[in-house]
Amino acid sequence: MDLESKVKKMGLGHEQGFGAPCLKCKDKCEGFELHFWRKICRNCKCGQEEHDVLTSNEEDRKVGKLFEDTKYTTLIAKLKNDGIPMYKRNVMILTNPVPAKKNISINTVTYEWAPPVQNQTLARQYMQMLPKEKQPVAGSEGAQYRKKQLAKQLPAHDQDPSKCHELSPNEVKQMEQFVKKYKNEALGVGDVKLPGEVETKATDKNNVNSGDRSTSAAVGAMEDKSADQKASQYSCYRCKLNMKEGDPAVYAERAGYDKLWHPACFVCCTCSELLVDMIYFWKNGNLYCGRHYCDSEKPRCAGCDELIFSNEYTQAEGQNWHLKHFCCFDCDCVLAGEIYVMVNDKPVCKPCYVKKHAAICQGCHNAIDPEVQRVTYNNFNWHATQECFLCSCCSKCLIGQKFMPVEGMVFCSVECKKKMMS
């Protein structure tokens, strides 16, 4: 059985979301089929997060594994049958009576995730302070946004060696140590509180190391302020604007209780996206999502999207690559020592480029080799030769000459243009 057949057979039986439609490509994609080492669809080249894959169980297992062996074990439950930790998402259902002409109808809103706070009013206020298109209401674009960010910000292959492609025993050991280190030093889950409650919490815990040495001093300063000053003393760590009294704020324990964020400001410092389910990584005074925290610590392979734990890897086009993964994006042939062309930031071998991506010459109607000179005007291209770049009327060579373009045609003079257009 050849490699292509093996891959297809494997895809039919073992790949999560096989056949799921692509939300980006619509009917152009035949359905999701995971590439055998890239984290993309073999059919349309989009990521799994762009497909309508029903993966809530997989997502809950992934986040459950992330919280295992951390202080956030209250957010997970272990399944009786296999002991795998599952994330206990706080799903919030709000029921509002809606007055109608004759009777009262019930309007129910289900949030696929909500902050795990006992006060539902506070949770509801938090949700309303998020941009509407990012509120995870079941069946809405906000729910789709959350799902996509879970896949993007917390890739399973950043914490689980079994989700990676052919790691050596030494690489597995290094990865396990790396994951243990970030769980101990950086991982956290934001908490939603009213600013006044945060101050009380800080007072109760000011002897606990929260990851910021200035916490105790800041708390002492807070306590000295009079009640009149309290209304304006809280400002958002990101946007620097004051918190409105009575509005919920998010705090991150590792950052210290003197720092607060508006719900919509609790974002990754690199991608500026909302931190999905308020899961953050704290480093050098900044909030990161899981992906970008890992990127700040380790090189990431631009081919397979995995972190690189090998000492040997290559750098090309401003990106990092496993040696075996610097391959043509179209046919997967290894590109070391070969001619390649970058297409949409992806390397493509010369044969694939000529076959699928090369510009077509308006003169001879053949593909233009990436190594030969060409003339480009708007979206039209010509070989830069005496045989191809000619006046469309009299066939005079126009290389080094002034010309008059009319869509895909070029003319040496007004006369030729008039003659051809008449």
Same domain, 143 and 264: yes
Q: Provide the number of structural domains found in the chain.
A: 2
pTM above threshold 0.75: yes
- Residues 222, 220: Cα–Cα separation, whole Å: 5
DSSP assignment string, 71-100? TTGGGEEE-TTT--EEE----EEEEEEEE-
101 found inside a domain: yes
DSSP 326: -
66 found inside a domain: no
Q: Which among 294, 317, 340 is the end of a domain?
A: 317
Same domain, 182 and 94: yes
Same domain, 268 and 385: no
> What CATH number has the domain bearing residue 384?
2.10.110.10
- Residues 134, 318: Cα–Cα separation, whole Å: 32
Q: Report the DSSP beta bridge partners of residue 390.
A: 397
DSSP assignment string, 345-411? TEEEEHHHIIIIIPPBBTTT-SBPPTTS-EEEETTEEEESSTTTSB-TTT--B-TTS--EEETTEEE
Same domain, 277 and 140: yes
Q: Which among 253, 287, 317 is the end of a domain?
A: 317
Angle at 101 (CA atoms; ends 100, 105), nearest 5 degrees: 25
Same domain, 163 and 245: yes
Same domain, 116 and 239: yes
Q: Where are the beta strands (DSSP E) in 2-103?
A: 76-78, 85-87, 92-99
Same domain, 114 and 260: yes
DSSP 255: G
What are the residue ranges in the chain where pLDDT is below 70? Answer: 1-15, 54-55, 80-81, 97-106, 198-232
Q: Which among 300, 317, 334 is the end of a domain?
A: 317
For residue 144, is it left (φ>0), alpha (ψ between -120 and 50) or beta? alpha
246 found inside a domain: yes
Q: Which of 243, 258, 159, 156 is nearest to 212 (CA)?
A: 258
Same domain, 381 and 311: no
Same domain, 269 and 417: no
The strand pair at 319-322 and 313-316 is best described as: antiparallel
Same domain, 134 and 267: yes
Identify whether the C-beta of residue 22 lies closer than 8 Å to the C-beta of residue 44.
Answer: yes
Same domain, 392 and 278: no
Q: What is the pLDDT of residue 70?
A: 95
Domain span at 412:
373-421
**What is the per-residue pLDDT across 333-385, written as a single tens digit (0 to 9) for each?**
999 889 999 999 999 999 999 999 999 999 999 999 988 999 998 889 999 99
Q: What is the pLDDT of residue 54?
A: 63
